Amino acid sequence: MGNFGAGVFKHLTQNRALLRERLGYEMSIGKIAVRDLGRDRGVDVPPQLLTTNWRELLDDSSTQIIVELMGQKEESLELILGAIERKKIVVTGNKALLAEHGKEIFESAFAHKVPVFFEAAVGGGIPIIKSIREAFIANHIQSVHGIVNGTSNYILTRMTEAGLGFKEALAEAQAAGYAEADPALDVNGGDAAHKAIILASLAYGFWVPPEKVFVEGIENISASDICFARQFGYRIKLLAILKANEGEIEVRVHPTLIPESHVLASVNGVFNAMAVKGDVVGESLFYGRGAGQDATSSAVISDIVEAADALQSPRRNLGFMPHGLYGTCKPIDQIVSEYYLRLTVDDRPGVIAQVAGILGALNIGISSILQPEAAEGEIVSLVLMIHRATNSQMTAALAQMEALECVKKQPRMIRVEHFS
């Protein structure tokens, strides 16, 4: 019963009458596991409901639904698998656990015919899981483009709007409570990757192995990159990208230049948004708070209600339906994209020709070049917008460019997405 558990208890209690009227039955909380009985959680909980031994929840035969909000993996996995084995329906918001152990969890769920619900694992209070699983059930999901980490989005927003560097924007996010003391999973793309795996698994019918997902964070994005991107008409966002094409899928998370005219470019601060494209429904947009006690509580309570309905009307869909229409993840080297490329070079004759020669030899085209004015011989930025090429082509080009005498720092490459 940490921050999210306290929120779920608070809203279940405050909105008890509303839930009773809408559902036609009463739900009651039988037991709550805590680590510290004396901790103030901001809500009044009857002491008889509390225990420091979470296994008591498994052993209580009257408990029909287990809500797992412990926020780590080893004990959480033991609790979830133990609940499934005892035929108790599970509600969880544990994105890391699902991303890494979803296949194991749902194999057990199917073996015991027990549903597992996890709306809170992606997008906070945004109903993206139910939408992909239920509302878009008749659709081949052609693509999902998501801003799914509020911390990184806040940092990039402040870098864009206030001209801050990465370290300054991160410090501001930590001071405002939007970033943890250890922000690694948020800024290195790990948190967004967990969510991308869950969405891809739902959309494409198999649990995507984490090692098949390309992940890159925002730690190396500079104020210069933000500025140059805007000059070309783009914003930089940490984007989770899912795509399906002829049986293969792409699952990747990385900083991305997106056109300022696209709706995702205007998603700022700690907000999340996901653009979903289905072959039947077309394009849909989901927007809202992706984290926080209240948004997460809303999603968890929605799952609790669905779990209660499942107790009265058993279902075949146990939260995830596997199928074999897709089955392979395209390696990052084969993925085609457009690119932003920033080089730090000597400003002298022949530099652009050397760079263009490397790209031309690899059959890579240049769409635009930008170089700020400087006195000859100074160190300057050379920025190029690159036509569509494979990641392996660009990797080869970067290695050759870095070896040039005129290139003074490691080249910086950011992928570009036009949502076509």
Residue that the structure tokens 């996995």 belong to: 77
| DSSP strand pairing (214-215 vs 141-147) | unpaired
Q: Nearest-CA neighbor of 146 among 288, 49, 27?
A: 288
Q: Nearest-CA neighbor of 288 among 302, 303, 267?
A: 267
Asked if residue 119 lies in contact with residue 67, where contact means CB atoms within 8 angstroms, the answer is no
- For the chain, state the CA radius of gyration: 24
- What's the CA angle centered on 182, arms 78 and 289, to 5 degrees? 80
**Helices 293-312 and 3-14, packing angle to 10 deg:** 60
DSSP state of 331: P
- Please say whether the dihedral angle defined by the alpha carbons of residues 305, 139, 286 and 148, taken in this order, is positive or negative: positive
For residue 166, the number of C-alpha atoms closer than 13 Å in the C-beta half-sphere is 14
Please report, for the chain, how many H helices and E strands are present, in that order. 14, 16
239: tokens are: 């984007």
Set 10, 88, 195, 237: catalytic member: 195
195 is catalytic: yes
Q: Nearest-CA neighbor of 364 among 385, 343, 382, 346?
A: 385
Q: Nearest-CA neighbor of 33 among 5, 12, 71?
A: 5
Asked if residue 359 lies in contact with residue 388, where contact means CB atoms within 8 angstroms, the answer is no
DSSP string, 343-367: EEEE-STTHHHHHHHHHHHTT--EE
Active site residues: 195
